[in-house]
Structure 1
Amino acid sequence: MSATSPDPGPVPLSPQEEAVMRALGRILLVLPRAMNADLEAEQRMTASEYNVLRHLSESAHGRMRMSELAQSCDMSLSGMTRLAAKLESLGYLNRVKCDEDARGWNAVLTESGLARLREAWPTHLASVRRHIFDHLGALDLEDLAAALNKMATDADLR
């Protein structure tokens, strides 16, 4: 391009790119609602409650700092505090002071919380299969996971 050539501006999306962008935008809205509805209908549990128990079950010793748990579940700390209080009242977790930092709190998964997670897991699994994997057909799942993780990583860096 010469110094006198006009700037062509941004390149518009192709029809295929536009379709993918719109489909991704729609799925980001409807998929969480559909999966939450499945858990609520069959388990009387929200997806947020399930995610808290899942993250705790996957952490070292079933314990996480409240701030880390909030971040892992994409929630504010105040929202996580309210949700943890509810889960604690149900006996699914305990909140205890951090040993290394007296200002911080840990959420600790209880045996009852682990049992509740195991009870809800088949519903969640069926929901994931029905709403996601049943629609992917012969797509290469490794390539799809890599592309989605790259998108998430690039977005996290901003």
Structure 2
Amino acid sequence: MTSTRWLDNSEQHTWRAYLDATRLLVRALDGQLTHESGISFADYELLVVLSEAPGGRLRMSELADAVTTTRSGVTRATTRLVDAGWVHRVKCDDDKRGMSAELTDAGMAKLADASPGHVAAVRELMFDRLTTEDVASLGQAFDRMRSHITG
């Protein structure tokens, strides 16, 4: 039987500060987007990912992987975006049973409208609070974590 490697006080503080800051940041960004642009943070993220994909289109499974959610979660979110007219579903070219999500012109316009306020909020809530060294260190640390988790 292996013994548990409990977090020391410094690790416990860092862990809780990370969780709190992440949750508060996502909540604040969701509130900003909802209030100013009428779109949730989760839906905004989907539009961003689609806007960066070739032809504004991704298979549903690729979209789920890109936003680190479940396929059922991205299916529900895509339905909201389809209903809003920002995305439409299309059959995959290489697999007629598969479906892709494709950004519409209205979705691109929504993204363009929401982005300046969102970026300003990200800058104000996160980057304006960090030094250049903090940004580099956090980027490196989160890259290592992501690489370890995703294999």
Matched, 1:117 2:111: yes
Matched, 1:60 2:27: no
- Quick one: which amino acid aligns to residue 17 of structure 1? E
Instruction: Give, in whole Å, the separation in 2 of the partners of 1:9 and 1:29.
Output: 27
The normalised TM-score by structure 1 is 0.85
Instruction: Give, in whole Å, the separation in 1 of the partners of 2:103 and 2:67.
Output: 15
**Among candidates 33, 41, 47, match of residue 41 of structure 2:** 47
**Among candidates 51, 54, 72, match of residue 78 of structure 1:** 72
RMSD: 2.1
Which residue of the partner structure matches residue 87 of structure 2?
93
Q: What SS is found at the alignment partner of 1:108?
A: strand
More helix by share: 2
Q: What SS is found at the alignment partner of 2:133?
A: coil
Report which of the two structures shows the higher radius of gyration computed on alpha carbons: 1
The 1:83/1:10 distance shift into structure 2, 3 A limit, reads closer
Which residue of the partner structure matches residue 96 of structure 2?
102
Deviations 1:38-68 (CA, angstroms, capped at 9, x unpaired): 1111111101110111000001110000111
**Among candidates 18, 24, 28, match of residue 22 of structure 2:** 28
Aligned pairs, how many? 150
Offset at 1:71? 1.8
The 1:138/1:54 distance shift into structure 2, 3 A limit, reads closer
Q: What SS is found at the alignment partner of 1:96?
A: strand
Offset at 1:9? 7.7
Identical pairs, percent: 36
Which residue of the partner structure matches residue 150 of structure 2?
156
Please give the residue correspondences for 1:138-149 in structure 2 after superposition, counting only pairs within 5 Å: 138-149=132-143
Q: What SS is found at the alignment partner of 2:89?
A: strand
Instruction: Give, in whole Å, the separation in 1 of the partners of 2:95 and 2:103.
Output: 20
Offset at 1:146? 1.1
